[in-house]
Amino acid sequence: MSGRKLILCCLVWAGVAGCHPAEKPLPRIAIAGLGIESSTFSPALTDEAAFHARYGSDVFGNYPFMSADSPLRKRAVWIPTIVGHSLPGGAVMREAYESLMGKMLDSLKKNGPYDGLYFDIHGAMSVVGLDDPEGDMISRIRAVVGKATIISTSMDLHGNVSQRLAQNTDLITVYRLAPHEDAIQTKERAVRELVERLESGKGKPAYKAWVPIPVLLPGEKTSTRIEPARSVFGSIDTTLAEDGVLDGGIWVGYPWADEPRNHAVVMVTGDDRSRVSQAAERLARRFWDARLGYAFVALTKPWTECLDSALASHKHPFFISDMGDNPTAGGAGDVTWTLNQLLARPEFRRPDGPSLIYASIPGPDLVRKAIAAGVGGHVDGYAGAVVDSRYSPPAHLVGTVESIVTGDRDAEVEVVVRIGSLHVIVTQKRKPYHKEVDFTRLGLQPRKTDIVVVKIGYLEPELYAMRADWIMALTPGGVDQDIEHLTYKRIERPMFPFDREMKDPDLSARLIASSDSR
């Protein structure tokens, strides 16, 4: 029966979970997944609360395309179980992962059977003492839902696709853009394709091609804002359409974890064997051939040169990315190295010195003191270097409290401390600053500030649009962008860029066994 007939039937029988007994019932689709990218080069650990897990119908709040009156929502009986997404961070504690998985699997056991399952993950989770957590997660889900259920997975292009994940999923898709302006669109596509395969009766795609590419690069070198990634990733949709396949994409992979699965991958799904293989090989070849061209998305320099350039510049606001401890890539977010460098500079000692915002440093003790002092009060205390003190000790902040704002989901409490001409944002818990409102709600005016230093890698769209100039600083931390200096023990070799003289790899498509065949 066609999808349209199904919908008509259900409009007639509105309010009933299913259709007329004579008609084919709506497909039953579960939703589950946990997402984080976690650095194993950071001493930070991630707990269960960090996932802000949503349960049952609250899960729909993650997906604007699944609002109560959306057309997609009406095409299936949905059984959301648990979906949690954490800010990037350190490895997930094993007990946190097991607790969340226990709840997910219990809920799936209770509410089955399922025609389909939407698996919403990032793909770069590290769990203490466990390899390939997303492969583990989907295997355990598969063991509960059975072989017949069609699983559709959506991922971040900085995630990893192990063969175990590839085998257990049936449909798979991934963001095409970094920064990820197409995140919601990608999730919607994963859900819509799943519904369409169920409605049409086509079921699982017959073929899944997987091509490992021996390249490991940080996201800051593969931003799709610039070449060659702009063209390589920009060609995905046309390649898939020309070859008449279902979906697929290119995964850059995640460089701050040390497992055999950490490398780039291409995957394509569809019903025609040779077209699926051909599309995967074309994409893999394009990504590999461009390898020498991937470069940092903005000018990149050591810290002192960045700050000297910003101080000498007439372009304001001048943004500096403090990259090494970027919490949105998995840094602890409390490395004080850069802040201590700033505090030591004489230029900022007087209130009429060059204005600079530093965003941000976690410091719960200092936040407590600031609350006690109140806005306008004097504060003297320490912030940062509780989780990651490898590079610099806690920062000693002595200044005036300019604002105190509570209620942010990540930071919980944010305080602005003015020290000379510096405005330092101190948070209860770590928080990335991506948007203009993140600053203005604290009473700060980044557009009228000379220099804005943000713990971030590439600038997210609003800050990118605001910048008069921008340099990315190579600073120390758990997500050091200079990955050739990291000590890897378990990634596959040879691997670009570590083995630059390596021979051309085998980029032929590996056909992955169907999830039916286990």
Q: Which residues bind Zn ion (CB under 5 A)?
A: 156, 158
DSSP run (H or E) holding 379 = strand 378-383
Q: From the CB of 157, what's the least distance to Zn ion, in Å? A: 6
Q: Alpha-carbon distance 357 to 462, whole Å?
A: 16
Q: From the CB of 68, what's the least distance to Zn ion, in Å? A: 30
483, 485, 489, 494 alpha-carbon torsion, rounded to 10°: 70
* Beta carbon nearer to Zn ion, 38 or 167: 38
Q: Alpha-carbon distance 387 to 418, whole Å?
A: 24
User: Token pair of 465, please?
Assistant: 């649009």
* Beta carbon nearer to Zn ion, 158 or 369: 158
* Beta carbon nearer to Zn ion, 122 or 164: 122
Q: How far is CA 369 from CA 114, 136, 224, 417, 493, in A?
A: 53, 44, 43, 11, 51
Q: From the CB of 173, what's the least distance to Zn ion, in Å? A: 14
Q: Alpha-carbon distance 274 to 209, whole Å?
A: 10
* Beta carbon nearer to Zn ion, 156 or 402: 156
How many C-beta neighbours within 10 Å does residue 388 have?
23
Let me know if 301 is exposed, middle or buried by CB neighbors in 10 A (0-12, 13-18, 19+): middle
Q: Alpha-carbon distance 5 to 355, whole Å?
A: 63
* Beta carbon nearer to Zn ion, 199 or 259: 259
Q: From the CB of 479, what's the least distance to Zn ion, in Å? A: 12
Q: From the CB of 327, what's the least distance to Zn ion, in Å? A: 13
82: which strand partners?
32, 55
Q: From the CB of 39, what's the least distance to Zn ion, in Å? A: 13
Let me know if 139 is exposed, middle or buried by CB neighbors in 10 A (0-12, 13-18, 19+): middle
Residue nearest to Zn ion (CB): 158
* Beta carbon nearer to Zn ion, 158 or 467: 158
* Beta carbon nearer to Zn ion, 265 or 383: 265
Give the DSSP per-residue string, 205-249: -SEEEEEEE-B---GGGS-TTSTTHHHHHHTHHHHHHHTT--EEE
Q: From the CB of 170, what's the least distance to Zn ion, in Å? A: 23
